């Protein structure tokens, strides 16, 4: 009787460990799939559609170049020893 009880207990323990390992593997596979899905979605946000916008410069880039061009062309005041901030003084 004791032998059959110990066999039954060891068999139940092996089954429980096997079930826990299978559950952990399932959770790991699901978490890996979810992580890869989220990363691929984030990568797609940063990519432009093929052939549409990728060949044209972005609006922000055009604005930046225009700003730099205005700074280069701007006429700056020439400071002399007699120069003052307010001409009325």
Residue 88 domain-assigned (yes or no): no
Give me Rg for the CA atoms of the chain.
36
Residue 55 domain-assigned (yes or no): yes
Residue 21 domain-assigned (yes or no): yes
6 to 14, 16, 18, 21, 66: CA distances (angstroms):
12, 15, 18, 22, 83
Residue 83 domain-assigned (yes or no): no
Residue 30 domain-assigned (yes or no): yes
* CB atoms closer than 10 angstroms to residue 9: 10
The model's pLDDT over 43-79, given as tens digits with 9 standing for 90+, comes to: 777 665 655 555 566 888 888 999 999 888 887 777 7
Please work out, in degrees rounded to the nearest 5, the angle formed at the alpha carbon of residue 76 by the alpha carbons of 75 and 80: 135
Distance of alpha carbon 70 from alpha carbon 42, whole angstroms: 36
Is the pTM higher than 0.85? no
Residue 82 domain-assigned (yes or no): no
Answer yes or no: is pLDDT of 88 > 60: no
The model's pLDDT over 13-29, given as tens digits with 9 standing for 90+, comes to: 999 999 999 999 999 99
Residue 78 domain-assigned (yes or no): no
Residue 32 belongs to domain spanning = 2-73
Q: How many domains does the chain have?
A: 1
Q: Give me the mean pLDDT over the 38-46 stretch.
A: 77
């Amino acid at each position: 009787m004791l032998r059959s009880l110990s066999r039954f207990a060891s068999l139940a323990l092996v089954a429980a460990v096997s079930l826990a390992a299978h559950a952990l593997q399932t959770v790991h596979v699901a978490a890996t799939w979810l992580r890869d899905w989220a990363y691929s979605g984030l990568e797609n946000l940063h990519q432009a559609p093929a052939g549409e916008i990728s060949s044209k410069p972005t609006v922000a880039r055009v604005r930046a170049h225009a700003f730099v061009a205005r700074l280069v062309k701007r006429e700056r005041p020439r400071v002399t020893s007699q120069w003052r901030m307010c001409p009325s003084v």
